[in-house]
Structure 1
């Protein structure tokens, strides 16, 4: 496996990000076209198909956002514990969840200093990731 760094740390799952999205969009477009061409006899069935396609679209969006939110909460807890283990003090409440998520890639040697810098300078998640010298891979996030 290629060593993880800022340039290659994001992950695209072709089955979800590609196929599922395209299939749902084809269903949405096709069902809307069928509804537009429907007659009085097929209007009800066509409208149910449109409703189902939008339900699938919303379901896919919320399934992804809910799982990411749960992962973000776990990462925040893990990084706050790591900070406490390294310093013996609680992490500042002024760091945002996005900043803490960016810090998860920092090695233990640079983690504490980078956390202080992020808080002091208001670094974004991307800026934090770019500032990391010794990248600690996170291969479990989807």
Structure 2
């Protein structure tokens, strides 16, 4: 069962294989460029390798950023819908006073505690971590990116 202690999600192929390997490749190519440059050799080939390695490193990082930004937009829409369903009012006023991190944290709250927790988060300026720790009825999400 998901809770505050285990809610973070790691995708092993991304976090432990692709990104570290591309970082190693980038580091290795930079090292080679430095060695060739120091020895006065033909550094143009090594420079091409550095550029290719940088592109390969950035590809999984950028794709992860795109996925997370899309997920954040969906979370914001989900919170707007939940708030409207619970109160019959738009979420606009509260949304402007919350950070995206706070909104993301609030989405784990059950319906009975969501509205009081929103008010508390705004009034006490709770951090996302504080909000998550305050949740009693944790709503699991196993579909996160």
Answer whether TM exceeds 0.5 for this pair: yes
Q: Are the equivalent residues in 1 in contact too, given 2:101–2:128 (CA < 8 A)? A: yes
Distance 1:106 1:87 in 2: 15
The runs of 5 or more residues in structure 1 that have no matched partner are: none
TM-score, structure 2 as length reference: 0.89
Per the TM alignment, residue 58 of structure 1 is displaced from its structure 2 partner at its CA by 2.3
**Residue among 98, 101, 105 paired with 2:104:** 101
Look up the match of 2:115: 112
More helix by share: 2
Q: Please, what TM-score do these two structures have when normalized by structure 1?
A: 0.91
Query: How many residue pairs align between the two structures?
Result: 140
Moved beyond 4 Å, runs of 4+? 39-42
Q: Secondary structure at the match of 2:21?
A: helix
Match runs of 1:33-112 below 5 Å:
33-38=31-36, 42-91=42-91, 92=94, 93-112=96-115
RMSD: 1.5
Tell me if 1:121 matches 2:119: no
3-state DSSP of counterpart to 1:37? helix
- Kindly provide the CA deviation profile for residues 45-85 of structure 1, in whole angstroms up to 9, marking residues without a partner as x: 21100011112222222211121011001101111110110
